[in-house]
Structures are given as C-alpha cells and as structure tokens.
C-alpha cells in the first residue's frame, strides 16, 4: 500500500506559495518573524476573508492550492496539526474576559478560538463530510497528524488525505515563550544558528498543506514510504525502529541520501541530533531548514515540504546541507528525523517514485 505526495504548498517566512527559497532564500536577522502574506483574493472571497484570522486564511489558501479543484467528499480525510491553534482569537477572548471581569463578552472570538477551527473551516470551505481531526502535541503535532493519515491508508480506510501543519505566532505568545527560553536574545544569523552555542532559536510561522493519495500519477512528487513516532526511546529502540523502517522498504542505511533534521540553533535541541548522528547515521549528510524558516511547534510540516521539494527537483541545494558546502545531486531517499525536547522522536521516509 503506497502513499504518494501529490501536491504540497506553504506560506511561511519565505516567499509564499512558491519554491523561491530553493534558489534564493531569505536570511532573516530578527528573532521574531511573521509569515509573508500572499494575495488571498485568488483563494478566498473578501467577505469570508474578513471573518478569518491570519491562521485560517493561510490554512484555507494552502489547502485550496494543493487540492487543485478537488472538493467535497472527494477528499477522504482532513487532518491538521497545530501546536497553539487559533491563538490570536484565544488571546482576544481571554483579554476581553480579564479586562471586563467576565462581562461584555461577544462570542465571535470564542467561536474561532478552538484548535479544531482550522480543520473545520477547511471542511466548511470544501463541503467535506469525511474524516476530520486535529493534533496538538507540540513539536510532534505534524508527525501525529501524518501518522493518523498513514495508518488509515495502511488499513484501507482512506484513498487520499489533506494533511496540514498550521501555527501563527502572536506578539504576546512570542513574549511568553521568550521568558521561558524559546528564543535567542539578540539578532540571529545562519552562523550563530549553525554553532548552537546558546539556548533558543528564532520564531517563524507555519502553513503547510499536503495532498496525499494512494494512486500514483504524473503529478506524484514522491512517496511517503514509512514513518514512526517514539516517546522517550532508548538508543537501542531508536536504532531498531530505524532498522525496521529501512527493512520494510528493502533499503539499507547507505541508500539514504540525506537526513533532514530540526537543527535550530538551540544548544540542547541540537545536541540530540549530533548524538543520534554519532549513534545511527555516521557519514550520511545532515540537511537543515530551520535556519531559513525559524522555529514553531508544527515546523516539521515545513521539513516534510522541503524534503518532498528536494526529491521533486532532484537536488538538495547547498544552502540546506549542514555539514559540507556541497549540493547533493539526484537524491532518492530522504529521511526526516525530528525530535521535540528529546521526548518525542520521529522518522519519516520519503522516496522518489
């Protein structure tokens, strides 16, 4: 039972709805960067657009972009990952409640404050009555959403799925997460992120939608060959899981062209990747992306997009290769390895189809 990525699209702190970052990435220096907004008019009529927060506009736009006219019950599952959900509306309702001591409240912001507002709004736009769910587990939110779809493909419950990762970062949330060490203290640059001498990274935003199908056609970008998620695995357990994942696909470690990792410039975060490299990956080149896209709970959704884009373009550009300043030509298999605070670990294997 094979699964193919048919289409994948992003709105982030790089140029939206395109792959311009591939040739000419933007290197940000600020530690708090908001997404570059595309022109939404092409996707959402202005009436509905006014009622939607930023996160909803981005989610609907990337979804419609990858669905390319598919709608309604043609889509078997809509699954969304979001670490903080519609946090802007949550804050608005919360502030209003605290400032007016639980009086004078209106329901508008409450209605659009829940995490599942995103998946629901997409279903509303598409008029899709099928499977609909939302995963909210911090840095492993995206893998959880993808795993849900993956399992349902395996069990023949679905033939296609729209899987997305969406997170916005408000000023207030940035300030709060700054207080507990999520962000670097001054301006950032690629070299400081590469060296990981201090804690924290820089804040980005995420909107990624992918359309997956069990049918291969000329649009298929690559295949989702396998995946797994582990909670606090031992070194042996991690190794064993990787071994099984490779065996299931008749591969050995030497077939993997690159390991795409969530190296973010945060010392503690990055040490886990270095250690796993020593234990499992030896000489396989590491590829990174958070130096271009920043950090966010569902950021690994962008990792998935980047892995797929590299396989589509048959090249991993030099600016993504972590260890050596050399591009990787004709990659066939990219392994995405992500962890969150050394608690949740995941593997996603993407293969050329």
What are the residues binding another protein (CB under 8 A)?
A: 78, 83-85, 93-94, 97-98, 101-103, 105-107, 110-117, 119-121, 123-124, 126-138, 140-141, 144, 147-148, 151-152, 154-155, 157, 172, 175-177, 179-180, 228-233, 237, 297, 343-344
Q: How far is the CB of 98 from another protein (least distance, A)?
A: 6
From residue 173, give the alpha-carbon distance in Å to each of 87, 88, 183, 316, 333. Answer: 8, 9, 11, 34, 37
Q: Between 63 and 228, name the residue whose CB sits nearer to another protein.
A: 228
Place of tokens 């042996």: 236
Q: How far is the CB of 221 from another protein (least distance, A)?
A: 24
Q: How far is the CB of 174 from another protein (least distance, A)?
A: 12
Q: Between 46 and 107, name the residue whose CB sits nearer to another protein.
A: 107
Q: How far is the CB of 343 from another protein (least distance, A)?
A: 7
Cα–Cα distance, 144 to 312 (Å, whole number): 24
Q: Between 60 and 84, name the residue whose CB sits nearer to another protein.
A: 84
Q: Between 123 and 163, name the residue whose CB sits nearer to another protein.
A: 123
Q: How far is the CB of 314 from another protein (least distance, A)?
A: 32
Nearest C-alpha neighbor of 352 from the set 244, 280, 257, 213: 257
> 55 near 166, Cβ under 8 Å?
yes
Q: Between 35 and 80, name the residue whose CB sits nearer to another protein.
A: 80
Cα–Cα distance, 262 to 301 (Å, whole number): 11
From residue 322, give the alpha-carbon distance in Å to each of 36, 75, 191, 234. Answer: 25, 37, 11, 26
Q: Between 139 and 265, name the residue whose CB sits nearer to another protein.
A: 139
Q: Between 107 and 186, name the residue whose CB sits nearer to another protein.
A: 107
Q: How far is the CB of 303 from another protein (least distance, A)?
A: 18
Q: How far is the CB of 191 from another protein (least distance, A)?
A: 29
Cα–Cα distance, 143 to 325 (Å, whole number): 29
At 230 the three-state DSSP class reads strand
Cα–Cα distance, 267 to 272 (Å, whole number): 9
| Tokens found for residue 149 | 């779809």
Q: Between 96 and 198, name the residue whose CB sits nearer to another protein.
A: 96
Alpha-helical (H) ranges within the chain are 20-23, 46-51, 54-67, 87-99, 108-111, 117-126, 141-154, 171-179, 190-195, 235-248, 267-276, 290-293, 300-313
First-residue to last-residue Cα distance in the chain: 13
Q: How far is the CB of 94 from another protein (least distance, A)?
A: 6
């Amino acid at each position: 039972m094979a699964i193919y990525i048919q289409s994948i699209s992003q709105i982030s702190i790089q140029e939206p709805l395109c792959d311009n970052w591939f040739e000419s990435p933007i290197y940000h220096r600020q530690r708090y960067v908001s997404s570059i907004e595309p022109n939404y008019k092409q996707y959402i009529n202005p009436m509905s657009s006014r009622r939607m927060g930023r996160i909803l506009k981005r989610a609907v736009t990337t979804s419609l972009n990858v669905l390319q006219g598919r709608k309604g019950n043609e889509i078997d599952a809509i699954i969304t990952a979001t670490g903080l959900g519609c946090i802007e509306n949550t804050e608005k309702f919360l502030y209003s409640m605290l400032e007016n001591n639980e009086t004078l409240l209106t329901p508008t912001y409450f209605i659009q404050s829940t995490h599942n507002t995103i998946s629901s709004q997409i279903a509303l736009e598409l008029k899709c009555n099928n499977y609909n769910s939302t995963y909210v587990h911090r840095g492993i939110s995206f893998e959880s959403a993808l795993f849900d779809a993956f399992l349902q493909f395996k069990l023949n419950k679905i033939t296609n799925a729209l899987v997305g990762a969406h997170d916005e970062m408000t000023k207030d949330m940035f300030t709060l997460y700054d207080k507990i060490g999520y962000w670097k203290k001054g301006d950032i640059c690629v070299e400081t992120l590469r060296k990981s001498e201090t804690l924290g990274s820089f804040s980005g935003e995420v909107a990624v939608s992918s359309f997956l199908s069990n049918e291969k056609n000329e649009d298929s970008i690559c295949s989702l060959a396998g995946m797994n998620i582990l909670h606090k695995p031992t070194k042996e357990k991690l190794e064993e899981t990787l071994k099984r994942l490779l065996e299931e696909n008749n591969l050995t470690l030497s077939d993997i062209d690159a390991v795409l990792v969530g190296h973010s410039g945060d010392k503690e975060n990055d040490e886990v990747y270095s250690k796993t490299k020593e234990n499992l990956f030896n000489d396989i080149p590491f590829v990174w992306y958070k130096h271009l896209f920043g950090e966010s709970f569902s950021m690994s959704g962008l990792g998935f997009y980047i892995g797929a884009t590299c396989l589509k373009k048959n090249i991993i550009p030099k600016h993504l290769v972590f260890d050596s300043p050399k591009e990787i030509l004709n990659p066939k298999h990219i392994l995405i390895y992500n962890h969150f605070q050394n608690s949740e670990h995941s593997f996603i294997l993407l293969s050329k189809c």
